[in-house]
Amino acid sequence: MEKILVVGAGQMGAGIAQVSAQAGFSVGLFDAFPGAAERAMEGMKKSLAKLAEKGQIQEKPEAVIARVRVFTKMDEVASLDPDLMIEAITENVEIKLKLYADLDRVLPAKTILASNTSSIPITQIGAATKRPDKVVGMHFMNPVPIMKLVEVIPGLATDPGVLATVLKTAERMGKTTIVAKDRPAFVVNRILMPLINEAFFALGEGLASAEDIDTGVRLGLNHPMGPLTLADFVGLDTCLAILEVLHKQLGEDKYRPAPVLRQYVQAGWYGKKAGRGVYVWEAGGQKK
């Protein structure tokens, strides 16, 4: 394993590209959206500068950044000749399946295709390609450079050798891995999203203010962040999409998305990335 292509330069893709480069891999970062990959590179520089300041990386940030090459055209990504592709695009099934059919066409036959999806079945993604044995889930947590976990998910057709390779690669990135079955939302989001959803039901009922709900969970349960703040970090649109998958695929009312969460998403209040979610966020990422 030497070369990793990351597809999608949002906050997750940028973080995955960064930890891959920190681990010494040659990295390609592809996003067709104009300016997205360049913005991600800026974010990476800031994150690496913080880590360097604290002595948490041994190399200079520029040396890590030098291992990342930006791509803006799908037809050019094959030139990287990647051993592994990690996709972190939007959680939309149609867009994702079309992307996988395209990647399957342009990437070398050896390339393992890993998805950072938090809720779309790996088996379904694999079926959109002619290499379902080389398709696997590799679910990182946000913020990727800080969070220690990667959930690895084999689909129905995933080769056990591919699973072993991906586990080893995540460990080389300094992550601890867990293996989850290909069931809706896997382990972490299966447990996290009902917590976040309940916080939105509580908010809707007026049980307490947003700040008090967050403080209650933060100090009462020793969580690093309250669930409403965390939802703003993850993205309210992403939380809603995951809850809808859980609700539809497991068919249980306990996963029904809270009306307030749905309404915030309808308003475009997607969280920190939109400057407004449950809270209002300044451009620098601080709560107002």
Which residues are designated catalytic?
A: 118, 139, 151, 189
Closer residue to ligand CAA, CB minimum distance, 116 or 158: 116
Provide the minimum distance between the beta carbon of 78 and ligand CAA in the complex, in angstroms, as a whole number.
Answer: 29
Provide the minimum distance between the beta carbon of 197 and ligand CAA in the complex, in angstroms, as a whole number.
Answer: 13
Closer residue to ligand CAA, CB minimum distance, 48 or 113: 48
Residue numbers of the site for ligand CAA (CB under 6 A)?
A: 47, 50-51, 54, 118, 141-143, 145-147, 188-189, 192, 224-225, 230, 234, 238
Provide the minimum distance between the beta carbon of 245 and ligand CAA in the complex, in angstroms, as a whole number.
Answer: 11
Closer residue to ligand CAA, CB minimum distance, 143 or 194: 143
Provide the minimum distance between the beta carbon of 207 and ligand CAA in the complex, in angstroms, as a whole number.
Answer: 22
Closer residue to ligand CAA, CB minimum distance, 167 or 236: 236
SS (H, E, C) the chain: CCEEEEECCCHHHHHHHHHHHHCCCEEEEECCCCCHHHHHHHHHHHHHHHHHHCCCCCCCHHHHHCCEEEECCHHHHHHHCCCEEEECCCCCHHHHHHHHHHHHHHCCCCCEEEECCCCCCHHHHHHCCCCHHHEEEEEECCCCCCCCEEEEEECCCCCHHHHHHHHHHHHHCCCEEEECCCCCCCCHHHHHHHHHHHHHHHHHHCCCCHHHHHHHHHHHHCCCCCHHHHHHHHCHHHHHHHHHHHHHHHCCHHHCCCHHHHHHHHCCCCEHHHCECCCEECCCCCEC
